[in-house]
């Protein structure tokens, strides 16, 4: 995949402070691209242009982009529903999201699967199924395979919500990762709700990071509204996994600043949470920091925004010119083994 | 007063909660929020402490329901989508379904599955799962096609002493309306003649009943009378009503929205072929979804599942043979 988000140039010679600036600028621009792309899909949804649901990562971009940027080409990434920013930072082309949401047969999912259910397994981007918790063990398996093949230096990362930590699949996969001491990073975005269900009806431990010690994996907590904290915390966990220290569980505190999907007005979200530090908008926080530090001027931010909008509009316009899938061109078979396909028309 | 299929499901649960203190509802977001589809709207407020939000733990949701049933309660478990019931599959087919056979202790658990395709929902929010559950001994599997049946069969499901898989079709939730709630109903286990006819028996269940009725209407204009049989419950399966219909028409077409390998349509045809071969004037046929996961794009989805158009084509072929 060609990088979608500009990555920091190899900055060996640059002074440390300019590296920090560069990292923040790249991450901020990735967050902005994710946010604006999400908003574009939300507006297409409101205009009746999208079949099925639309799921946004609003409020989670700092965390998500940090995961994408901490991974390298050749790593494995299984993002979830709120990871537009992280996907783009990992290298998912803009056209993939556009084609999958708009149902273009030219997309990686060929209109067979939609919206956030997209990926490129051969390029390390594993497409989610809806069943929550199910992706962690798949990442484990990819990493086990590489180890079996004698390959080293890889990391696998996957994102998950607070709600999905209640699944048996989450438990089984974290235990498996710990037993195998795999270089996997599981990033929990504790956005306080699973659809309408608050943390208090989801788990009773003091913090989700307490689960780490139970499995024998390293736990990290961080403030998901703060880009610097996310870049630093996720970067450290990924480095630890890469250098052979076993599975890492990151738990980030933040708030979902949108409905569960665009069909949902999220009126159940406690206004006290909205007004608390958890409810801060990471994009705004990051922008303020860039300006405060003198890392960017307001005109630059406006220009980046305009560039994002232009790229997004171009991707959407391209896909809107593509034809829908032709059901009569489909082979209507789910098997890879061609000679085992039954040719019976309607069974 | 007009009432939708979804409101009927809500009303049946309200009545069950009001009349039987052993009933409680457990599922993700079913409490104050009223469920992903609003099938439990206001029930948590009306019945405090008896409509409980579950963690995202389908295995534990079903397992705990079995424990509660052993203690004499009558849990209703809501799966957010039928597709996610696979995560609770082990508890349903190995725990709930075998309990009575092994111990003589009944297991009156209702598992509500919002089933079936709606356009744009994709492979993991569209499945119909009646066939896979019907395969297992010890389960009752219901597939209501009408507002009246959604109401009366859910009430009966709660009263049944066995685990009941209640397949409610999401496409019918808002599309289907009736003038009111029924006061009497056919019992579970009885199929219904949804439309009488003499030329072809068209067996369907759940949302496909409405596609079948549309086809029957179209054919009536051409002077062909199709008899539509609504199975209502796929397990137990009312072979007698199907057979009696085939005895009148001599021809059989069976339609289901599930995947084509095995399943309800194959079962109906196997029974008619073995027990009523002489009644048939032509080879029976069946029509199902295609043998791929349910596609996301509406144009693919519309071809993947049977529709009035593809059913009409199959009906013509049975009538010609
Ligand atoms: C096994 C399973 N059960 C139920 C669902 C339905 N479902 C989809 S998203 C969701 C809430 C997820 O909450 P969380 O894990 O906190 O992620 P968030 O949406 O907050 O990012 C639920 C219950 C599902 N996808 N998978
Ligand atoms: Mg959440």
Q: For A301-330, what is each residue's pLDDT tens digit?
A: 999 999 999 999 999 999 999 999 999 999
Q: Would you say residue A36 has pLDDT above 90?
A: yes
Question: Which residue do the tokens 């600036």 mark?
Answer: A21
Record the tokens describing residue B276, joined without a space: 């009523």
Do domains B3-178 and B192-320 share one topology? The answer is yes
Identify which of A121, A175, A123 has the alpha carbon closest to the alpha carbon of residue A3.
A123
Record the tokens describing residue A278, joined without a space: 């958890």
The per-residue pLDDT for A14 is: 65
Establish whether B125 is a catalytic residue. Answer: yes
* Integer Cα distance of A78 and A135 in angstroms: 7
Looking at the CA of A167, which ligand is closest? 1
Identify which of A88, A61, A67 has the alpha carbon closest to the alpha carbon of residue A2.
A88
Better pLDDT: A10 or A153: A153
Q: Would you say residue A165 has pLDDT above 80?
A: yes
* Integer Cα distance of A24 and A29 in angstroms: 8
- Could you tell me which residues come within 8 angstroms of residue A205 by beta carbon, excluding any fewer than 6 positions away? A211
Record the tokens describing residue B120, joined without a space: 């744009």
CB contact under 8 A, B55 and A166: yes
CB contact under 8 A, B28 and A334: no
Identify which of B54, A2, A214, B56 has the alpha carbon closest to the alpha carbon of residue B65.
B54
* Integer Cα distance of A180 and A215 in angstroms: 12
Q: How far is the CA of A166 from the centre of ligand 1 (A)?
A: 10
Among residues 187-216 of chain A, which lie with CB inside 8 Å of chain B? 194-197, 201-203
Identify which of A126, A98, A78, A80 has the alpha carbon closest to the alpha carbon of residue A33.
A98
Q: Would you say residue A30 has pLDDT above 90?
A: yes
CA distance A42 to chain B (A): 16
Bridge-based pairing state of the strands A248-253 and B23-27:
unpaired
Sheet holding A248-253, edge to edge: A76-78, A156-161, A184-190, A248-253, A218-223
- What residues of B are in contact with residue A195 (Cβ under 8 Å)? 28-29, 33, 36
pTM metric for this prediction: 0.96
Record the tokens describing residue B271, joined without a space: 């029974």
Q: Would you say residue A63 has pLDDT above 70?
A: yes
* Contact with chain B for residue A109, Cβ under 8 A: yes
Looking at the CA of A81, which ligand is closest? 1
Looking at the CA of A196, which ligand is closest? 1
Percent of chain A exceeding pLDDT 70 equals 96
* Integer Cα distance of B98 and B105 in angstroms: 10
A81 CA closest ligand 1 atom index: 21
Backbone φ/ψ region at A28: left (φ over 0), alpha (ψ -120 to 50), beta: alpha
- What residues of B are in contact with residue A169 (Cβ under 8 Å)? 87
* Contact with chain A for residue B303, Cβ under 8 A: yes
Q: Whose CA is nearest to atom 11 of ligand 1?
A: A194
Interval A217-226: pLDDT, tens: 999 999 999 9
- Rounded to two decimals, the ipTM of the complex is 0.95
The per-residue pLDDT for A2 is: 58
Residue A346's pLDDT band, with cuts at 50, 70 and 90, is: very low
The per-residue pLDDT for A342 is: 87
Instruction: Give the chain A residue whose CA is nearest to the CA of B260.
Output: A347
Q: Would you say residue A15 has pLDDT above 80?
A: no
* Integer Cα distance of B21 and B8 in angstroms: 20
Task: Provide CATH code, domain B3-178.
Answer: 3.40.50.970
* Integer Cα distance of A91 and A73 in angstroms: 8
* Integer Cα distance of A106 and B300 in angstroms: 14
Ligand 1 pocket by C-beta < 6 Å: which residues?
Answer: A 81-82, 130-132, 161-164, 167, 189, 191, 193-195, 256, 260; B 28, 56, 58, 80, 84, 87
* CB count in 10 Å sphere of residue B247: 13
- Yes or no: say if A255 and A192 are a contact pair by the CB < 8 Å rule: yes
Task: Provide CATH code, domain A11-34+59-97+120-296.
Answer: 3.40.50.970
Better pLDDT: A344 or A154: A154
CA distance A257 to chain B (A): 18
CATH number of B192-320, picked from 3.40.50.1370, 3.40.50.920, 3.60.20.40, 2.160.10.10: 3.40.50.920
Q: Would you say residue A173 has pLDDT above 50?
A: yes
* Integer Cα distance of A179 and A247 in angstroms: 10
Among residues 83-112 of chain B, which lie with CB inside 8 Å of chain A? 83-84, 86-87
Q: How far is the CA of B176 from the centre of ligand 1 (A)?
A: 28
Of the candidates B125, B169, B210, B304, the residue annotated as catalytic is B125
DSSP for A289-341, written as a single string: HHHHTTSS-HHHHHHHHHHHHHHHHHHHHHHHTSPPP-GGG------S-GGG-
3-state secondary structure chain B: CCEEHHHHHHHHHHHHHHHCCCEEEEECCCCCCCCCCCCCCCHHHHCCCCEEECCCCHHHHHHHHHHHHHCCCEEEEECCCHHHHHHHHHHHHHHHHHHHHHHCCCCCCEEEEEECCCCCCCCCCCCCCHHHHHCCCCCEEECCCCHHHHHHHHHHHHHCCCCEEEEEEHHHHHHCEECCCCCCCCCCCCCEEEECCCCEEEEECCCHHHHHHHHHHHHHCCCCCEEEEECCEEECCCHHHHHHHHHHHCCEEEECCCCCCCHHHHHHHHHHHHHCHHHCCCCCEEECCCCCCCCCCHHHHHHHCCCHHHHHHHHHHHHHC
Domain boundaries along the sequence of chain A: 11-34+59-97+120-296
* CB count in 10 Å sphere of residue A239: 14
Mean pLDDT, chain A, rounded, equals 95
A55 CA closest ligand 1 atom index: 19
Q: Would you say residue A177 has pLDDT above 70?
A: yes
Q: How far is the CA of A222 from the centre of ligand 2 (A)?
A: 16
Q: Would you say residue A152 has pLDDT above 70?
A: yes
- Return the number of CB contacts < 8 Å for A and B: 127
**In chain A, alpha helices (H):** 16-46, 61-70, 84-90, 94-102, 136-148, 168-180, 210-215, 227-242, 271-274, 282-292, 298-320
The per-residue pLDDT for A5 is: 80
Q: How far is the CA of A335 from the centre of ligand 2 (A)?
A: 35
Q: How many residues does chain A have?
A: 347
Question: Which residue do the tokens 């199910």 mark?
Answer: A134
Intervals of chain B under pLDDT 50 = none
CB contact under 8 A, B296 and A109: yes
Domain boundaries along the sequence of chain B: 3-178, 192-320
Q: Which candidate from A114, A201, A334 shows the least CB-CB separation from B122?
A: A114
In degrees to the nearest 10, what's the CA dihedral of A159, A163, A168, A170?
Answer: 20
Mean pLDDT, chain B, rounded, equals 98
The per-residue pLDDT for B16 is: 98
Burial call B198-218: b when 16+ CB within 10 Å, e when fewer: ebbbbbbbbbbbbbbbbbbeb
């Amino acid at each position: 995949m060609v990088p979608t988000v500009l990555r920091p140039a190899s900055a060996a010679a640059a002074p440390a402070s300019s590296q920090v600036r560069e990292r923040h600028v790249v991450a901020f621009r990735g967050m902005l691209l994710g946010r604006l792309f999400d908003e574009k899909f939300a507006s297409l949804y409101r205009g009746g242009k999208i079949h099925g649901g639309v799921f946004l990562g609003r409020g989670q971009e700092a965390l998500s982009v940090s995961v994408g940027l901490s991974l390298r080409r050749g790593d494995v990434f299984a993002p979830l529903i709120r990871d537009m920013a992280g996907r783009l930072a990992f290298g998912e082309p803009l056209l993939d999201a556009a084609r999958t949401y708009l149902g273009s047969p030219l997309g990686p999912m060929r209109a067979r699967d939609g919206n956030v259910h997209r990926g490129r397994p051969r390029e390390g981007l594993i497409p989610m199924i809806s069943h929550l918790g199910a992706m962690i063990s798949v990442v484990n398996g990819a990493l086990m395979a590489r180890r079996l093949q004698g390959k080293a230096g890889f990391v696998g990362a996957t994102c998950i919500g607070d709600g999905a930590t209640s699944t048996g699949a989450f438990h089984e996969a974290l235990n498996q990762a710990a037993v195998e001491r795999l270089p996997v990073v599981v990033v929990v975005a504790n956005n306080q709700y699973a659809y309408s269900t608050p943390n208090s009806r989801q788990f009773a431990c003091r913090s989700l990071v307490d689960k780490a010690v139970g499995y024998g994996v390293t736990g990290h907590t961080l403030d998901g509204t703060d880009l610097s904290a996310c870049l630093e915390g996720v970067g450290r966990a990924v480095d630890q996994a890469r250098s052979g220290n076993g599975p890492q569980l990151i738990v980030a505190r933040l708030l979902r600043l949108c409905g569960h999907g665009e069909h949902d007005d999220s009126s159940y979200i406690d206004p006290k949470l909205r007004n608390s530090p958890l409810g801060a908008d990471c994009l705004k926080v990051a922008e303020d920091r860039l300006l405060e530090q003198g890392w960017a001027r307001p005109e630059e931010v406006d220009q980046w925004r305009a560039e994002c909008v232009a790229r997004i509009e171009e991707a959407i316009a391209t896909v809107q010119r593509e034809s829908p899938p032709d059901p009569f061109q489909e082979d209507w078979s789910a098997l890879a083994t061609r000679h085992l396909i039954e040719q019976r028309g309607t069974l | 007063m007009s009432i939708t299929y979804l409101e009927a499901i809500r009303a049946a649960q309200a009545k069950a909660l009001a009349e039987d203190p052993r009933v409680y509802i457990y599922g993700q977001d079913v409490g104050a929020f009223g469920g992903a589809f609003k099938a439990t709207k206001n029930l948590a407020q009306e019945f405090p402490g008896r409509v409980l939000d579950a963690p995202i733990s389908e295995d534990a949701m079903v397992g705990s329901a079995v424990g509660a049933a052993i203690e004499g309660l009558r849990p209703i478990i809501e799966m957010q989508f039928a597709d996610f019931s696979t995560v609770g599959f082990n508890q349903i087919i190995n725990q709930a379904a075998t309990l009575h056979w092994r111990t003589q202790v009944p297991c009156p658990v209702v598992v509500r599955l919002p089933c079936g395709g709606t356009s744009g929902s994709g492979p993991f929010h569209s499945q119909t799962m009646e066939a896979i559950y019907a395969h297992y001994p010890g389960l009752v599997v219901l597939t209501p096609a009408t507002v009246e049946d959604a109401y009366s069969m859910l009430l009966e499901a709660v009263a049944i002493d066995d685990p009941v898989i209640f397949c409610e079709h999401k496409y019918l939730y808002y599309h289907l309306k009736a003038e009111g709630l029924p006061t009497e109903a056919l019992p579970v286990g009885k199929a219904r003649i949804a439309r009488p006819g003499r030329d072809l028996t068209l067996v369907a269940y759940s949302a496909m009943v409405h596609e079948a009725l549309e086809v029957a209407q179209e054919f009536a204009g051409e002077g062909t009378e199709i008899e539509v049989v609504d199975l209502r419950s796929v397990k137990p399966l009312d072979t007698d009503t199907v057979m009696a219909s085939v005895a009148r028409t001599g021809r059989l077409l069976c339609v289901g929205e599930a995947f084509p390998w095995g399943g309800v349509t194959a079962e109906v045809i196997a029974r008619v072929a073995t027990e009523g071969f002489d009644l048939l004037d032509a080879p029976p046929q069946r029509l199902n979804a295609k043998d791929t996961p349910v596609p996301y794009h509406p144009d693919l989805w519309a071809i993947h599942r049977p529709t009035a158009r593809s059913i009409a084509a199959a009906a013509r072929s049975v009538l010609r043979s």
